[in-house]
A and B are shown apart, each in its own frame.
Chain A
């Protein structure tokens, strides 16, 4: 009989001593494992008698075998006593939420927990690859697990099947994460992107901390990305000639487009509703320009009487809508921007719409994003229905990225807006959303609950945290994980595109090495590759 080694073995963290499926398991740390090395959110494996489980550390606590320890602590100034007592009489306990169980077919959601004394160890690189998949066309390397170097991948196919959310306080790296996700979608060819780029971060170039510039999608994948602009002058200033300058016609604006602006423009529901009456009165396309051309209170009063709307409300509506005239991108008649966008998307090009100076104007952003999305969505619906008999003519899946969603996906108006509809209907019509937002708490619960994958950087308001975690399995326990994220480059990912919730350190973006890892080639490499290609085609040149 071999006696167990009294010094313990270093690889393992500890063993399961208690727990339940609802509350997760308690793991007593071995004396050799320091509690300070175990972080909330760490990915661990639990080796039971027969099955292997994968879990996440959700809490860390200190315990003592004797309650007197707290009142009469041992003399830990002596290093010997300190090294003996810590981990034995005073020990650490970690709470682990077992998420997956290793099945013959691969990791499956766990419906049980490991038995007593199951060994708990930090996950290895192989475990990460087993659970999250190795990097390939479908799996996009998004970052690495906490304190590990291995590549953690998202299943892009699953990601684009549903609407998603990227959340986090400002300055926590939402934009970098979103940019990576967009690249992932682009590289996997599983969908096309339409990005309503409020602050000009995705198209040509973005900014990092300290005024450093990083490359946007167009610079990295110029043949696959088109940058559209609402503000040509601003795009040019930034060194980019946009592929298309978007113009919106007054004749393209519909009452539904005004409805979503109600809150932002400070319109009462009556006033917002009046747009419908006006459209009926003036007829189809002309209603807005006709309405805005009315001068004088007398005419307004007459109009109010005719359409049966309160005069004050109508005056307010006119006053607020006349702000639209100030937008240079508004023209009398539309110029087929929707067709142009669809044309690019159909070719498999990814479209980034830069707002330039209008990025800081929420009215402009919402008006344009909503208007374009509504029309694009209608076309998709039409095509999808037409394709029901012929799957090969299905439109390409489309992911629409919108920012500042909490300002127009609030619970009072979300149900009226196209974004609410898209989020609810999920992939029915091959269009999904990617919400990029800092105040998820203000977004309609129903929209939030429909998000397939949520990627969240640090949030500190309780309302936001609750809203992001609502409906997530083990949500209560992920709270501590989420509120302890570092403020930079860390995110909690959970939902449809990952088999289990996991904290990641976002992959680097912004160095030439990172660009190269994403498939970008600099001028020298391109030249040598061209020469190589030429040599392959025509044989080596003459000496």
Chain B
């Protein structure tokens, strides 16, 4: 098993908050979140697919704000090595938008009838899975209407990332752009914004 395969088989975190449209997961390791726009899946039989829409690192105890500790230290890494307890006091969480699920061995690109259980493991999707999932982009409205900070950035980051799994990434991006244009035909400013993010890939 190669390093990459091992990484893909290792859960990156587990679900701590679940609804039919959104999952919030906590990372097993501090700062080890999949990036914005990455496609992830839950383990188990009824796999649910999501796209990382927000990543945040904060204090585990909402009442205890981190304080500045770097006086006399040379850089941020030095602070962590001299304060190993930080790994237990802070946690990295990511919020994902549900974009599909498996049901009876079939891939559906819409929200699942039920959310996964809390503590369900979350795995990154490999390139082949990503390519298969993005074979159709009918789930894009789910991303564009997600109640997150910047859904347009999520969509753009997702499409940019996914395009790398396709042999002709340019053709994929053009097809995806057209799909966006038909969804956002009435809002040319928003469409322009996303296309500009995709253009500079």
A interface residues with partner B (beta carbon < 8 Å): 3, 6-7, 31, 64-66, 68-69, 72, 74-75, 78, 80-81, 83-85, 87-89
- Give the distance in Å from the alpha carbon of A65 to the alpha carbon of B190 in the complex: 13
Closest B residue to A66 using CB positions: B188
User: Can you give 23 A-B contacts (C-beta < 8 A)?
Assistant: A3-B136, A3-B138, A6-B136, A7-B174, A7-B175, A65-B186, A66-B188, A68-B188, A68-B189, A69-B188, A72-B189, A74-B192, A75-B192, A75-B199, A78-B199, A80-B177, A80-B195, A81-B195, A81-B199, A84-B178, A89-B184, A89-B185, A89-B191
Instruction: Report chain B residues within 8 Å CB of A81.
Output: 177, 192, 195-196, 199
Nearest CB on B from A70, distance (A): 9
**Chain B positions 165-200 with a Cβ under 8 Å from a chain A Cβ:** 170-171, 173-182, 184-189, 191-192, 195-196, 198-199
Instruction: Report chain A residues within 8 Å CB of B188.
Output: 64-66, 68-69, 72, 74, 89
Given A74-B188, A80-B199, A88-B185; 15 other pairs, CB 8 A cutoff: A3-B135, A6-B175, A7-B171, A64-B188, A65-B186, A66-B185, A66-B188, A74-B191, A74-B195, A75-B192, A80-B198, A83-B177, A84-B174, A85-B181, A89-B185
- Residue in B173, B176, B187 whose beta carbon sits within 8 Å of that of A66 in the complex: B187
- Give the distance in Å from the alpha carbon of A397 to the alpha carbon of B179 in the complex: 62
Q: Are A88 and B175 touching (Cβ within 8 A)?
A: no
Interface core residue of A64, A80, A83, A89 (most chain B CB under 10 Å) = A89
Q: Are A84 and B195 touching (Cβ within 8 A)?
A: yes
- Give the distance in Å from the alpha carbon of A425 to the alpha carbon of B72 in the complex: 112
Are A89 and B175 CB-contacts (below 8 A) given A3-B135, A81-B199?
no
* Closest 7 pairs (CB-CB, A-B): A65-B185, A84-B177, A88-B181, A3-B136, A6-B175, A66-B188, A80-B199
Report whether over half of chain B's contact residues are helix, strand or loop; otherwise say mixed: helix
Closest A residue to B106 using CB positions: A1
- Give the distance in Å from the alpha carbon of A309 to the alpha carbon of B191 in the complex: 86
- Give the distance in Å from the alpha carbon of A83 to the alpha carbon of B179 in the complex: 12
Q: Are A31 and B185 touching (Cβ within 8 A)?
A: no
Nearest CB on A from B193, distance (A): 10
Instruction: Report chain A residues within 8 Å CB of B186.
Output: 65-66
Is B137 in the interface zone, CB < 8 Å from A? yes
Closest A residue to B181 using CB positions: A88
Nearest CB on B from A132, distance (A): 37
Are A6 and B185 CB-contacts (below 8 A) given A74-B191, A74-B192, A84-B195?
no
Closest A residue to B198 using CB positions: A80
Interface residues on B, range: 20 to 34
Interface core residue of B138, B170, B173, B177 (most chain A CB under 10 Å) = B177
B interface residues with partner A (beta carbon < 8 Å): 135-138, 170-171, 173-182, 184-189, 191-192, 195-196, 198-199
Instruction: Report chain A residues within 8 Å CB of B177.
Output: 80-81, 83-85, 88
Nearest CB on B from A32, distance (A): 9
Closest A residue to B184 using CB positions: A89
Nearest CB on B from A475, distance (A): 35
- Give the distance in Å from the alpha carbon of A85 to the alpha carbon of B191 in the complex: 9
Closest B residue to A5 using CB positions: B175
Q: Are A31 and B192 touching (Cβ within 8 A)?
A: no
- Give the distance in Å from the alpha carbon of A64 to the alpha carbon of B184 in the complex: 12
Instruction: Report chain B residues within 8 Å CB of A74.
Output: 188, 191-192, 195
Q: Are A88 and B174 touching (Cβ within 8 A)?
A: no
- Give the distance in Å from the alpha carbon of A172 to the alpha carbon of B97 in the complex: 65
- Residue in B179, B184, B187, B191 whose beta carbon sits within 8 Å of that of A6 in the complex: B179
Closest A residue to B188 using CB positions: A66
Closest A residue to B168 using CB positions: A7
- Residue in A64, A65, A75, A87 whose beta carbon sits within 8 Å of that of B196 in the complex: A75
Nearest CB on B from A184, distance (A): 48
- Give the distance in Å from the alpha carbon of A74 to the alpha carbon of B181 in the complex: 12
Closest A residue to B109 using CB positions: A3
Nearest CB on A from B106, distance (A): 9
Q: Are B195 and A85 touching (Cβ within 8 A)?
A: yes
Instruction: Report chain B residues within 8 Å CB of A72.
Output: 188-189, 192
- Give the distance in Å from the alpha carbon of A78 to the alpha carbon of B199 in the complex: 7
- Give the distance in Å from the alpha carbon of A103 to the alpha carbon of B196 in the complex: 51
Instruction: Report chain B residues within 8 Å CB of A78.
Output: 196, 199
Instruction: Report chain B residues within 8 Å CB of A31.
Output: 178
Instruction: Report chain A residues within 8 Å CB of B174.
Output: 7, 80, 83-84
- Give the distance in Å from the alpha carbon of A88 to the alpha carbon of B187 in the complex: 12
- Residue in A7, A80, A83, A88 whose beta carbon sits within 8 Å of that of B182 in the complex: A88
- Give the distance in Å from the alpha carbon of A68 to the alpha carbon of B184 in the complex: 12
Instruction: Report chain A residues within 8 Å CB of B195.
Output: 74-75, 80-81, 84-85
- Give the distance in Å from the alpha carbon of A68 to the alpha carbon of B182 in the complex: 15
Instruction: Report chain A residues within 8 Å CB of B185.
Output: 65-66, 88-89
- Give the distance in Å from the alpha carbon of A66 to the alpha carbon of B187 in the complex: 6
Instruction: Report chain B residues within 8 Å CB of A65.
Output: 181, 185-186, 188
Interface core residue of B138, B179, B191 (most chain A CB under 10 Å) = B191
Instruction: Report chain B residues within 8 Å CB of A88.
Output: 177-178, 181-182, 185
- Give the distance in Å from the alpha carbon of A175 to the alpha carbon of B184 in the complex: 55
Closest B residue to A3 using CB positions: B136
- Give the distance in Å from the alpha carbon of A87 to the alpha carbon of B177 in the complex: 11
Q: Are B187 and A84 touching (Cβ within 8 A)?
A: no
Instruction: Report chain B residues within 8 Å CB of A64.
Output: 188
- Give the distance in Å from the alpha carbon of A78 to the alpha carbon of B138 in the complex: 26
Nearest CB on B from A167, distance (A): 44
- Give the distance in Å from the alpha carbon of A74 to the alpha carbon of B194 in the complex: 11
Nearest CB on B from A543, distance (A): 69
Instruction: Report chain A residues within 8 Å CB of B170.
Output: 80
- Give the distance in Å from the alpha carbon of A81 to the alpha carbon of B173 in the complex: 10
Closest B residue to A67 using CB positions: B188
Nearest CB on A from B99, distance (A): 15
- Give the distance in Å from the alpha carbon of A6 to the alpha carbon of B176 in the complex: 8
Q: Are B178 and A6 touching (Cβ within 8 A)?
A: yes
- Give the distance in Å from the alpha carbon of A454 to the alpha carbon of B49 in the complex: 65
Nearest CB on B from A427, distance (A): 56
Instruction: Report chain B residues within 8 Å CB of A66.
Output: 185-188
- Give the distance in Å from the alpha carbon of A68 to the alpha carbon of B186 in the complex: 9
Instruction: Report chain A residues within 8 Å CB of B187.
Output: 66
- Give the distance in Å from the alpha carbon of A72 to the alpha carbon of B196 in the complex: 14
Nearest CB on B from A72, distance (A): 6
Nearest CB on B from A14, distance (A): 14
Nearest CB on B from A535, distance (A): 64
Instruction: Report chain A residues within 8 Å CB of B181.
Output: 65, 84-85, 88-89
Nearest CB on A from B173, distance (A): 7
Closest A residue to B186 using CB positions: A66
